[in-house]
Amino acid sequence: MPLVRLEVFHLRNLRHALLHFDPCLNLILGPNASGKTSLLEAIYLLARARSFRTSRSTEVIAHGSAWMTVAGKVLQEGREISVGVGLQGKKRQIKLDDKLVQARAELLQVLPVQFIDPTLHTLFEGAPKFRRKLLDWGVFYAEREFLPAWRRYQRILEQRNAALRHGDAEGAKLWGRELMKYGKIIEDCRSRYLKSLQSEFSQASQRLGLEQSELRYLPGRVEGKDLEIAIADDLERDLRFGCTHSGPHRDDFMAYVAGRPVCGFFSRGQMKLLAYALVLAQLRRLGRTACLLIDDLASELDLRNQALLSELIVQLKAQVFITATRPQGLGGLSPPAARIFQVENGVIQAI
């Protein structure tokens, strides 16, 4: 499902751009603060109806403008699907084939997209919520039960936490039984997905020079307890603190190499390679074309690892967009095999 056409109006310093992309590889060159990352942000907005930089829509809209629009054409089974996302103030509008849609899930199905920035090396040493976000991107596409269960779980979690804050033990028990029901579905979906990802992750890691790598799912509860018992045993503590301590909202996973967790044992460059291996494994597991957005491929990687990573990216069944300040920062990717864009002061030109 490659993005073949993109038009941008009033997104940060991109006042207007009309671009046609290569279905495989697109390289975006330009100095810092020229608008390269804003172009990636425009694609991300088109695919997810939200920014990877901010949750405030007003920050995305160009200074002096009241609105912002990104519109594109996605090629799907030989047919072009029109997609559009508009922001005006705090209002958001999503269109698919010129029809208004309310649910972002419909948009996500049309154009799967993943974004990688220079801070990728922090994935395994950062907060669990960032790993859950990455994990759930893949679970969303692989497990049909996941999204409805997650939505229901979130609503029930709010109700249970409200009961806890009011000291309502019986209400907390009642909501806890519902929480356990949908929580087990979420745990099963995440666990199955992570197991299905293991082979692709191991192969990608090996090709990047990291042997015996594995992913381990870490449920958000005391090890050895199932979810029902954990929620019941936590009731007194939950009432004291006014929040639910066990459940999928506290899930995590970790990468291990030769039986050791990567966090605390590996360099930033090695952790970045493993994080890349994970994202690339997810894209291969997806089984259909997705967009991979990479902001500054060369950051934290030496020339050898850039070359290894570039080889994997070229072989990936995905549409790839990579930014760099100069051609030497493209990690060994061959310009003749790609469409190249130059960005200067918010103006984008194909070269």
Instruction: Answer yes or no: is pLDDT of 292 > 70.
Output: yes
Question: What whole-number distance in Å separates Cα of residue 189 and Cα of residue 157?
Answer: 18
Q: What is the mean pLDDT of residues 319-332?
A: 81
pLDDT digits (tens, 9 = 90+) for 252-265: 999 999 999 998 78
pTM of the predicted model over 0.95? no
User: For residue 79, which amino acid is it?
Assistant: R
Closest CA to 133 of 143, 123, 145: 123
Mean pLDDT for the stretch of residues 130-143: 96
Beta-carbon count within 10 A of 4 CB: 16
pLDDT digits (tens, 9 = 90+) for 72-96: 999 987 789 999 999 998 899 999 9
User: How many Å apart are CA 216 and CA 202, to the nearest integer?
Assistant: 12
Is 328 in contact with 20 (CB distance < 8 Å)? no
**In the prediction, which pLDDT does 162 show?**
98
**Residue labelled with tokens 């020339």:** 303
Please give the residue that has the higher pLDDT: either 194 or 334. Answer: 194
What is the three-class DSSP state of 350? Answer: strand
CA torsion angle 16 20 22 27 (round to 10)? -20
Average pLDDT over residues 322-326: 88
Domains of the chain (ranges; CATH) run 1-112+288-351 (3.40.50.300)
Q: In this predicted structure, what is the pLDDT of residue 38?
A: 96
Token duo for residue 80: 């072009």
Q: Which of 21, 23, 32, 12 has the alpha carbon at shortest distance from 329?
A: 32
pLDDT band at 348 (very low <50, low <70, confident <90, very high): very high
Give the position of tokens 């995440």: 190
